Amino acid sequence: MGTWIWIWICICGGFLSPKWKWFRWPERLVIFTFGLVFSKGLMTLVLQNLSSFLTDSLNLKLKEAITIVNLQEGLRNMLQICVALCIDAYLGYRWMLILSSLLYSAGLFLLALSVPGGERCPSNCFKELKHTSFWEGLTLVIVGGAAQVIPLYALSFEQTRVAKIPEDYEPARVQVGCFRFRVKIGGWRNFLQKVIRWLLFLFLITGALTSVYGFFFYYDKWQQHFFQSAVAIIIGLLWFLCGFPFYGPRRLQRSPLSIMLHTLIAAWQKRHLKYQINLDEEDQNHSLTDHLELLNSAAVKESPADDNLRRRWRLCTVTEVEQTKLLLDIIPMSATFIVYGMVKSLGNTFFIEQADRMHGSISVVVLQLIQFISKSAVNEGYKMVFEKRIQRIKRRYSDGVKIGIGMLTSILCCAVASQVESKRLKALKKKGLLDNPEAEAPMSAYWLLLQFIFLGAMEGLAGDGIVNFFGHYAPDSRRYAPVFTSSLTGFGTILSIGFIAIIDYYIRFRYKESWIGESVNESRLDLIYRAYVMLAVLNCFIYAYVASSYSYDNIIGRPENEQEIPVLEVKQQQEEEKAAGDPQNKQEQEEYQLQRMSVR
């Protein structure tokens, strides 16, 4: 064990050594996030299978377990907008990562303490949960999980992104030890960026495989799962703190959401003014569009002598007004993405409960792995087969087509799930086991394979398409595209709670029965899936209408192009002199040193 520690210290020392000039500072500092990236992979299956912990260990009713799971997942995604605002305005990435890791690990410790001493509660434990640390732990997990996603990604994977290499860039000399090479900097940077990303993915996959191993052999040991995840986060945080002194100064900046709020308030306060006059001096060379012209008054300067208008939220620049218009334009399209989050929530709730009550040697973990493989395969297959052809014909419609196909896949997912559940209930009824909440249907869990594949395909198409849509049409897309996507998905997850409650209330009032019983065997999930099918079909028609009327001409960024061809930022230490000089001076003339870049 000591040998491996010394090897790890040597590798880290090599990364941080000034002699390793071909690695920039952000790339060297990525190694301090390896521990937290590993813990992120370790947490993959813990929260995805939380419904099994609630129904099996705590013996909660199906409705109670589904509500808790959807609530924690939805809030964890929705709070990312608040986290992004807090990062930009106050804390920065490093302090937010430290705070979120502490909250996350504390919440997992409290959840571990709330696990019953035996295998499971003898009866429903919902009322007894207030006497345990469950609710406190769940709250900390929600807040810590929401706050960790953005800074961890920004300080790990995001640090390997650099600007696109200029076309006229010439090869340069790079010294590695006592050897010098004449290389194309773009290709050299591309290779080094891949090395860093490979290491990050290696730690992420290692953590995920460790989680898979734990759930495959110790599925019901929830106290052990919570404790292991909490310890992994603490160890990763301690390793991250070792590199804290090497980071640059904290950078704070304005977010597009605060700019939008500033613009709306300024436009409302000056709604009686005409924007054609008295523009701010720095905006004289810019023009305001006629679209949403009510907002143009925010750029009107009431009194040229007053320099405190901006601080009083009464003056905006033309650029800020136009960014606000772009955000307001994507609201109708964004509203159609909510149903995607509602359908996605089925994968962590009803799908898992189905798998737990079916006979067969296949585990829920295997089905979730197949779902992830389907997501990746469909996404890459679409890029290779359809995306380039659509871009050649009508490039601006590529994101919309991808999202539309993903929404059609959500219909197939719910329809297949309804048919499989109907078959499972018939098998239970044939054996007289419908009233037994612990009974397993005499049919293989392999029947669930198709609905998990469609669920992964929906995430690969619609989920990735939504991220690309925000990346192309939202201001500051590089930072906020994943945040907007997660927030809409979380809102859809929470909305599914209300959707199921409305269905249950209507059925109770109309037919004097309930589609959601105390267990999955006593419920009618097949009819609930059919309700989701109708909802998905209706949303597809609405999306088709909104997408066809949306203007795709305002593409403001394509962030995926920035990461394909990285560039090495170098500067020559001295210019070459015409006259011959000192040999040592000549050697210094040929050296290239890396520019130290600020890391948030």
Is the model more confident about 347 or about 126? 347
Give the DSSP letter of residue 361.
Answer: S
Average confidence (pLDDT) over 281-307: 63
Low-confidence winner among 15-29, 356-370, 395-409, 557-571 (lowest mean pLDDT): 557-571
Three-class SS state of 552:
coil
3 state DSSP class of 580: coil
Q: Provide the pLDDT for residue 589.
A: 37
Burial class (CB in 10 A: 0-12, 13-18, 19+), 522: middle
Model confidence pLDDT, tens digit, residues 241-290? 888 777 766 677 777 777 777 777 777 877 776 655 445 544 444 566 66
Q: Does residue 463 carry a pLDDT above 60?
A: yes
Q: In the structure, what pLDDT confidence band is assigned to residue 477 with cuts at 50, 70 and 90?
A: low
Give the pLDDT score at 209. Answer: 85
Residue 157 has a pLDDT of 76
- For 509, counting Cβ atoms within 10 Å of its Cβ (0-12 exposed, 13-18 middle, 19+ buried), the class is exposed
How high is the pLDDT of residue 12? Answer: 54
Q: How many CB atoms lie within 10 A of CB 334?
A: 20
Q: How far is CA 179 from the centre of its chain?
A: 42
pLDDT digits (tens, 9 = 90+) for 219-245: 778 888 888 899 999 999 999 888 877
Question: What is the band of 585 on the pLDDT scale with cuts at 50, 70, 90?
Answer: very low
d(CA 319, CA 256) in angstroms, rounded, equals: 11
Query: By C-alpha distance, which of 272, 281, 274, 265 is closest to 318?
Result: 281
Predicted local distance difference test score (pLDDT) of residue 579: 39
Q: Confirm if 437 and 525 have CB atoms less than 8 A apart.
A: no
Task: Tell me the C-alpha distance between 391 and 400, whole Å.
Answer: 11
Strand pairing report for 179-183 and 172-176: antiparallel
Structure-token pair, residue 101: 């890791």
The yes-or-no verdict on residue 216 having pLDDT over 80 is no
Question: What is the arithmetic mean of pLDDT over 426-453?
Answer: 85
pLDDT tens track for 514-567:
888 888 888 888 999 999 999 999 999 999 998 888 776 665 554 444 333 232
- Locus of tokens 């807040």: 143
pLDDT of 68 above 50:
yes
Mean pLDDT of all residues in 496-516 = 89
Mean pLDDT, rounded, for 45-67: 84
Asked if residue 578 has pLDDT above 60, the reply is no
Query: For residue 271, what are the contacts with CB-CB under 8 A and spacing of at least 6?
Result: 294, 297
Mean pLDDT to the nearest integer, 308-323: 69
For the chain, what percent of residues have pLDDT higher than 90? 21
pLDDT at 582: 44
Helix (H) or strand (E) holding 181: strand 179-183
Mean pLDDT (the chain) is: 76
Mean pLDDT for 2-17 is 48
CA distances 2 to 11, 14, 67, 449, Å, are 14, 18, 47, 44
Burial 207-237, CB ≥16 within 10 A → b, else e: bbebbbebbeeebebbbebbbbbbebbbebb
Stronger pLDDT, 61 or 560, i.e. the higher one: 61
Q: How big is the CA angle at 137 (ends 132 and 142), to the nearest 5 degrees?
A: 145
pLDDT value at 19 more than 80? no
Largest CA distance in the chain: 99
Domains located in the chain, CATH noted: 26-162+183-251 (1.20.1250.20), 256-276+289-316 (no CATH), 329-552 (1.20.1250.20)
What is the structure's pLDDT at 562? 39
